[in-house]
Amino acid sequence: MQALSDRHYWALAEFRYQLRRFLRRSEEAARATGLEPQQHQLLLAIRGLPEGRDPTIGQLAERLQLQHHSLVGLIDRLERRGLVRRERAAADRRRVHVYLTEEGERALRELSMFHWQELQSIGPGLVRALQRIVAPASRRRGGRHAISQPPGQGDDATAG
């Protein structure tokens, strides 16, 4: 790889800015419903696991990039609030599966509606920022995107 130019640094900074904008709004929305951001992320990880994957502590720890013991503490707190429940796996009683309760489903549905709408609003800026980073690889494979615009020109990155 060549040395990074000012445009590369700008593209990286713009992507981080757009991502952070979304994450900040996500964190605020979670807290407004009485959840910590990691609690919301766990609810979403449980509900959004790819088909065929069991909601085990190991699987969820990987999805949230947490250590096993940290995830167990997070599950404990959500279980006390009635948002998740644990069940021993039928096939292997040593394994524990974590499921959303009705209340957990309701809390997640409310937050997910907000996030879906938020991404409809700020998602295009996030996508453009990411495209500027992946453009060189895309061009090598025949794509057309490029790190092309200086900050604040041709996008709404500085708006709102």
For residue 98, list its beta bridge partners.
Answer: 86
Torsion of CA 94, 97, 103, 109, to 10 degrees: 170
Q: How many domains does the chain have?
A: 1
Reference 111, options 8, 13, 31, 10; nearest CA is: 31
Q: Is residue 159 part of a domain?
A: no
Give the C-alpha separation, 26 to 106, whole Å: 17
Tokens standing for residue 154: 């041709």
pLDDT, tens digit, 9 for 90 and up, residues 87-136: 998 888 889 999 999 999 999 999 999 999 999 999 999 999 999 899 76
Which residue is associated with the tokens 């981080």?
16
pLDDT, tens digit, 9 for 90 and up, residues 26-41: 999 999 999 999 999 9
Domain holding 92, by residue range, is: 6-140
Q: Is residue 151 part of a domain?
A: no
Average pLDDT over the chain reads 87
CATH code at position 75: 1.10.10.10
Q: What is the pTM of this model?
A: 0.81
For residue 88, list its beta bridge partners.
Answer: 96
